[in-house]
């Protein structure tokens, strides 16, 4: 768990540093940061999806996952509930929607990526934290940019990352066969598309309501569980 702990701390520290710069950043520079983050998220998401397409054993599973996950997420109104929660945290501050957008994007960027998902597994199985330390370095820089743009509330992404990576570490630690390469590939394809959707939202090209699509990540897991039982 050392790598995950370090990764979590770097997000908090980076967020605090970025928050100190928050008030000193003019609006025109914040808009540039929005654009930069949007482009980065789009590129990272597309790369994760495209690079793992050849590894997919079920080429249409990601489509089914997005369809079913989107319907479930919309029915549960995850995006709306999340924004209302942020509204309460911000106590009616006019920047609540921006914080919700930034926090959801940051959580996806921190959690849904090869380093963040493979890192805990490799750490649990081999005791090698190289992936996680590399991810921590990237997240440190990203958290400073996010917090300088959206404020101190961005550190709320840290405990989410800890739970996410901790789950992968625990499952891999308990059973080395629970998370297969095939399942990881499917999760990264879907996760990459979610990151891409967040990038499009940041660029104001399309409000994809990415949080409503989060249940799509459960569909490959359920599929592989059913496949193992049958």
Q: What is the pLDDT of residues 84-112, one digit of tens each?
A: 776 665 555 555 567 777 787 788 778 87
Say what the pTM is: 0.74
Name the residue among 147, 174, 191 with its Cα closest to residue 30.
147
Percent of the chain at pLDDT > 90 equals 22
CA distance 43 to 64: 23
pLDDT tens, residue by residue, 123-176: 887 788 888 998 888 888 888 888 887 888 888 899 999 999 998 898 888 776
Residue 95's Cα: distance from chain center in Å?
21
Domain of 10 in residue numbering reads as 2-229
Measured distance between the N- and C-terminal CA atoms of the chain, rounded to whole angstroms: 33
Q: 3-class SS at 93?
A: coil
Number of domains observed in the structure of the chain? 1
């Amino acid at each position: 768990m050392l790598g995950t702990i370090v990764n979590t701390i770097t997000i908090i520290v980076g967020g605090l540093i970025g928050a100190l710069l928050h008030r000193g950043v003019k609006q025109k520079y914040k808009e540039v940061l929005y654009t930069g983050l949007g482009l980065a998220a789009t590129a990272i998401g597309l790369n994760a999806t495209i690079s793992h397409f050849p590894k997919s054993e079920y080429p249409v599973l990601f489509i089914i996952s997005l369809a079913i996950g989107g319907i479930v997420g919309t029915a549960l109104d995850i995006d709306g509930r999340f924004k209302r929660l942020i509204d309460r945290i911000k106590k009616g501050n006019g920047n609540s929607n921006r914080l919700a957008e930034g926090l959801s994007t940051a959580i996806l960027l921190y959690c849904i990526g090869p380093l963040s998902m493979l890192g805990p597994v490799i750490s649990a199985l081999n005791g090698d934290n190289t992936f996680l330390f590399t991810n921590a370095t990237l997240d440190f820089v990203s958290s400073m940019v996010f917090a300088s743009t959206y404020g101190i509330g961005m550190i709320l992404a840290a405990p989410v990352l800890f739970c996410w990576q901790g789950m992968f570490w625990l499952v891999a630690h308990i059973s080395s066969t629970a998370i297969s390469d095939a399942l990881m590939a499917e999760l990264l394809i879907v996760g990459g598309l979610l990151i891409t959707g967040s990038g499009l939202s940041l660029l104001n090209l399309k409000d994809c309501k990415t949080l409503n699509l989060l249940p799509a990540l459960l569909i490959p897991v359920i599929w592989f569980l059913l496949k193992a039982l049958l």
